[in-house]
Amino acid sequence: MPSPGAPGEAEHSLVRLLEGFLKVCDGISFAHARGVIHRDLKPANVMVGEFGEVLVMDWGLAKVFGHSDAAAAHVTPDLAGAQVARKARGSKGDRSEPLEAEPLRTQDGSVMGTPAYMPPEQAAGEIERLSERSDVYSLGAILYQMLTLFPPFTGGSAYAILQRVIEGKFVRPSERAPGRPVPRELEAAVLKAMAKDPAKRYASVAGLRADIEAYLAGRTLAAARYKPWQRAAKWVMRNKAVTAVSAAAAVVLVAASAGFMWKILVEKGRAEENARVAGENAAAEREARQEAERLQRVAEEKARREGDYALLDQYRSAAEGLWPAWPDQVEDMNEWTRGARDLASRLDEHRSRLDTMPAGTSSDLWARDNQTKLVAGLLELREKTIPDVEARTLRGREVGRAAQEHREDWERAIRRIADSPLYGGLVIALQTALVPLGPDPESGLWEFADIQTGLVPERGPDGKLAITEKTGVVLVLLPGGTFWMGAAPRGARNVDPSAQTDEGPVHEVTLEPFFMGKHEMTQGQWERVTGENPSFCKPGVKFGDKTVTLANPVEQVSWEDCDRWLGRLGLVLPTEAQWEYAARAGTQTVWWTGNEKETFAGAGNIIDSNCKRNGGTAGRDYEAWLDDGHTAHAPAGIFRANAFGLADTMGNVWEWCRDVYAADSYQTHPRDRDGLHGEEEAPTASAARSYRGGSWADLADYARSADRFRAASGIRNTDLGVRPARVLASGQ
């Protein structure tokens, strides 16, 4: 089989490669049936003959169960109709193959085979554990290379690769080659075949072969998971030539509408019975048959209409699940688009049917109403939803290309983060859609740009990021740790004279590392993501001597808005614990700046003398001692950042949090990992959600690190925005 960069590689389509792979599976299955395992399967040991025959070569490490390895070394079984002999090896100085492809040969009980393709048990020298599933692993590694053009493990010495093999950690095919269309189902087959635990692999080569054959035939794979619409789409794509009634019946069955098929059979049976009774009367027989055919057509049309309506609902629902628009979703989005286009192609048929439907009886009106909804739904699917998913597919590919372009940046970031004492030896993996920006010059914490939300910012001569209207979200990787959450009027920790009862008791919370927005989400970022800017203080509006721009924070966004749109980007709302941990940045004082209001100056934007001077409302309280220079909210990053490098955690706009608010939240034990208090889901639709941090329209007390506020999840206010967070994804 061709290796990456080999001549003629482009001529081998994925389908042809998979067909050849099936022949390799046949050969290995043949060997397994005779008690032989290969133990050194790799692309270099698979050869394609002049007439398309596939030969499995080099049985020098083969083992026959029940025989010693010395005996196995001389086995040359006849596979795929060809005599397979041992391949001559070059000298130790021969570097025609990369290190990961070079074999390691030692005595039984030690490592033997080729590092990049051998299973973990073989890499660990546990020869007694080798079985047919060991060859399954190696076949999975070959399939990996077919999909990505790279071996599963590369870089470093052969023994360094062995260590990674033993640990079972490799990059998923779709992440290794984000610029290539790696089918989701084939990736699932690779991951199953290459499972670290042999018990989790395919039980035999036949199982792997069956899944690859199923993929080629358009059937479902045992290794992959499917949503109902995906199973329905596969059936439709496989059965293009089936009669209309059979296709409709299948779709109806998928849509759980089997009752319509029963009606078809009943009506058809009645008509045929009428035809039989009138058999002696030719005219009556013809009339009865025509009536039978008419009734069958009516039933078929009804089944098709109801089936398409149910399928339309499934496709609309599935489109909502095709987020984020990342490389691992591209294959699903392509599959969805193919099926959705096939469904939308029946729009004209359903529209023509609507034009001819009677409108006399209540039953007719009901049928017309349903047909009208179906036509409208198919039109929306064709004109809006399909183009939207296609646009997402393009974005997914762009995200994949960006990962390739910044791979060296990521490798450097991973090494430096692991070496940084601030992170305590934390080893991270490449995070989809993020670009490393390096550490903040003051905090030392690493920062990353989300390329889905805008341009990647650049650092100035002082090392600080230049934030503009077009800049994307910047996320700071915060180290995990334990901190004291809440406040109390007196005590040993987090003493705050203004502490409220819902801020206690002060308690310990331990968090895993996570990403937190360096700034509040800007109007420009929100508009690029959603296509809208709901803010009250819009660009061009002047407050005092300051004019609002797209770099100002977005406001008038509800909790529901934020949860929906952030989720589409792979972002989340921070928990209250994450928010307070980030805002405190290691402090136990009232504000992160200290215990006195005067320390607030230059670090936050609240209701002050500037607000009062530029149209303040009579009778309101102001922090008259302060002039922060802004009447309304300020652009991102204007004020001094805290020790974590986070700006605007005090004032500017309030920031939604994930938690369902409860006055006694802190009486419950916070969730491990992210510190969530209480349940993730709201008990009622009217349940309040928490928000934190104060705003430009509030006093300093509301910007205290422990202060809590709440509102219904659908509420939108002119001083309420969002600071996105993100879960740190682990590697494979």
Q: By percentage, how much of the chain surpasses pLDDT 90? A: 62
CA separation for the pair 207, 209 (Å, rounded): 5
Query: What's the number of CA atoms in the CB half-sphere (13 Å) around residue 603?
Result: 22
**pLDDT of amino acid 164:** 87
Judge residue 429's burial from the number of C-beta atoms within 10 Å of its C-beta, 0-12 exposed, 13-18 middle, 19 or more buried.
middle
CA separation for the pair 164, 145 (Å, rounded): 17
Give me the amino acid identity at 170: F
Buried b (16+ CB within 10 A) or exposed e, 214-232: bbeeeebbebbebeebbeb
Cβ proximity of 343 and 384 under 8 Å: no
Among candidates 148, 6, 4, 138, which has minimal Cα distance to 61?
138
**pLDDT of amino acid 281:** 58
Does residue 109 have a pLDDT over 50? no
CA separation for the pair 658, 65 (Å, rounded): 57
CA separation for the pair 30, 84 (Å, rounded): 13
In sequence order, the β-bridge partners of residue 653 are none
- Give 476's pLDDT tier (boundaries 50, 70, 90): very high
Give the pLDDT mean for 457-476. Answer: 96
**pLDDT of amino acid 289:** 67
Cα–chain center distance at 44: 34
- Give 264's pLDDT tier (boundaries 50, 70, 90): very low
Residues of the chain with CATH 3.90.1580.10: 406-727
**pLDDT of amino acid 247:** 42
Max avg pLDDT among 267-271, 305-309, 352-356: 352-356
Q: What is the pLDDT of residues 270-289, one digit of tens each?
A: 555 555 555 555 665 666 66
139-148, 257-266, 387-396: least confidently modelled range = 257-266
Torsion of Cα atoms, 588 then 591 then 597 then 601, to 10°: 130
* Residue 264 three-state SS: helix
Does residue 593 have a pLDDT over 90? yes
**pLDDT of amino acid 64:** 84
Judge residue 568's burial from the number of C-beta atoms within 10 Å of its C-beta, 0-12 exposed, 13-18 middle, 19 or more buried.
middle
Q: Sign (positive/negative) of CA torsion 491, 493, 498, 502? A: negative
Among candidates 433, 431, 436, 470, which has minimal Cα distance to 454?
470
CATH hierarchy code of domain 9-217: 1.10.510.10
Please give the full DSSP string across 102-150, using - where no structure is assigned: S-B---BTB--B-GGGS-HHHHTT-GGG--HHHHHHHHHHHHHHHHHSS
Give 612's contacts (C-beta < 8 A, 6+ positions apart).
620, 622, 624
72-76, 113-117, 589-593, 615-619: least confidently modelled range = 72-76
User: How confident is the prediction for the chain on average, in pLDDT?
Assistant: 85
Does residue 251 have a pLDDT over 50? no
Residue for token digits 């008038």? 556
Other Cβ atoms within 10 Å of 613 Cβ, number: 12
- Give 732's pLDDT tier (boundaries 50, 70, 90): very low
Torsion of Cα atoms, 413 then 416 then 417 then 421, to 10°: -160
Report whether the peptide linkage leading into residue 120 is cis, meaning its omega lies within 30 degrees of zero: no
**pLDDT of amino acid 511:** 98
In sequence order, the β-bridge partners of residue 482 are 510
Cα–chain center distance at 515: 16
Does residue 692 have a pLDDT over 70? yes
- Give 9's pLDDT tier (boundaries 50, 70, 90): very low
CATH hierarchy code of domain 406-727: 3.90.1580.10
Please give the full DSSP string across 371-411, using - where no structure is assigned: HHHHHHHHHHIIIIIHHHHHHHHHHHHHHHHHHHHTHHHHH
Cβ proximity of 92 and 105 under 8 Å: no
Residues of the chain with CATH 1.10.510.10: 9-217
**pLDDT of amino acid 110:** 45
In sequence order, the β-bridge partners of residue 37 are 63
CA separation for the pair 673, 271 (Å, rounded): 66
* Residue 482 three-state SS: strand
Q: What is the pLDDT of residues 17-30, one digit of tens each?
A: 999 999 999 999 99
**pLDDT of amino acid 239:** 55
* Residue 623 three-state SS: strand
587 φ, ψ (degrees, to nearest 5) = -95, 165
